[in-house]
């Protein structure tokens, strides 16, 4: 399968082919526990290195752990390279909405985000484009979509269940502006979802 992703600030992107049906594992080694933080493990992807393509390499920083030989005590650098985005010290919260950022997140994460999140966000998007939608409703929609495209969430999107808060925010917005979400908005959203998920 083809894997693709990006860092939270969007400066580093990658694609990688993996022959595995489940192309990841959780590593609890002492190095991963110390460098990854969070749940005390790292999520490692398994793929063919020869197929790895990276955009934004200038933003990468490489860490090689120092490993002590248990017999001689000699300390050497590990050959394993852990790549990090240099800009991740201060994740940037998106404070403005743009169509480009919206469609970028949709196109990259459609399958991983899930049908419900995508369809709900598309309903709001099409309502936003409608001239009949009043300003107050558009303000509510803007706020929800900004949260959706923001790399800094209450729950990080890459964690299991990481899109639960996005869905909650989107559904709340839908409930608030429901009067202004027309049948045509819902129909357009369904058509787009069917194209992606091929139901």
pLDDT at 62: 86
pLDDT at 127: 93
- How confident is the model over 92-124, as pLDDT tens digits? 444 567 788 888 777 766 666 667 788 888 999
- What is the rounded CA–CA span in Å between residue 175 and residue 137? 11
pLDDT at 63 over 90: no
- What is the rounded CA–CA span in Å between residue 127 and residue 178? 10
- Say what the alpha-carbon torsion angle 118, 120, 122, 125 is, to the nearest 10 degrees: -140
Prediction pTM value? 0.48
DSSP-assigned states of every residue in 141-194: HHHHHHHHH-S--SS-TTSTTTTHHHHHHHHHHHHHSGGG--HHHHHHHHHHHH
Identity of the highest mean pLDDT range in 32-36, 124-128, 152-156 = 124-128
- What is the rounded CA–CA span in Å between residue 169 and residue 147? 8
pLDDT at 50: 92
73 CB-near residues (< 8 Å, 6+ apart):
none
Residue 38 φ/ψ, nearest 5 degrees: 60, -115
- What CATH architecture does domain 2-89 belong to? Beta Complex (2.170)
pLDDT at 109: 67
Q: Are 132 and 179 in contact (CB under 8 A)?
A: no
- What is the rounded CA–CA span in Å between residue 90 and residue 108? 23
* Confidence band for 167, pLDDT divided at 50, 70 and 90: low
In angstroms, what CA-CA distances link 103 with 43, 68, 110, 134, 148?
A: 26, 47, 10, 23, 11
* Confidence band for 88, pLDDT divided at 50, 70 and 90: low
């Amino acid at each position: 399968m083809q894997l693709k992703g990006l860092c939270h600030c969007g400066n580093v992107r990658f694609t990688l082919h993996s022959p595995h049906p489940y192309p990841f594992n959780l590593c609890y080694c002492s190095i991963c526990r110390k460098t990854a933080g969070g749940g005390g493990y790292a999520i490692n992807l398994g793929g063919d290195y020869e197929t790895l393509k990276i955009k934004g390499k200038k933003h990468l920083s490489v860490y090689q752990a120092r490993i002590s030989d248990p017999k001689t005590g000699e300390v050497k650098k590990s050959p394993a390279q852990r790549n990090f985005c240099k800009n991740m010290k201060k994740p940037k919260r998106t404070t403005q909405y743009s169509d480009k950022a919206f469609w970028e997140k949709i196109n990259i994460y459609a399958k991983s985000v899930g049908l419900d999140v995508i369809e709900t966000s598309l309903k709001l998007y099409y309502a936003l484009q409608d001239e009949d939608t009043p300003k107050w409703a558009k303000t509510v929609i803007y706020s929800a979509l900004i949260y959706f495209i923001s790399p800094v969430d209450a729950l990080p999107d890459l964690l299991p269940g990481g899109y639960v808060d996005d869905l909650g925010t989107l559904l709340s917005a839908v409930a608030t502006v429901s009067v202004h979400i027309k049948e045509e908005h819902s129909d357009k959203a369904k058509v787009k979802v069917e194209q992606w998920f091929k139901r």
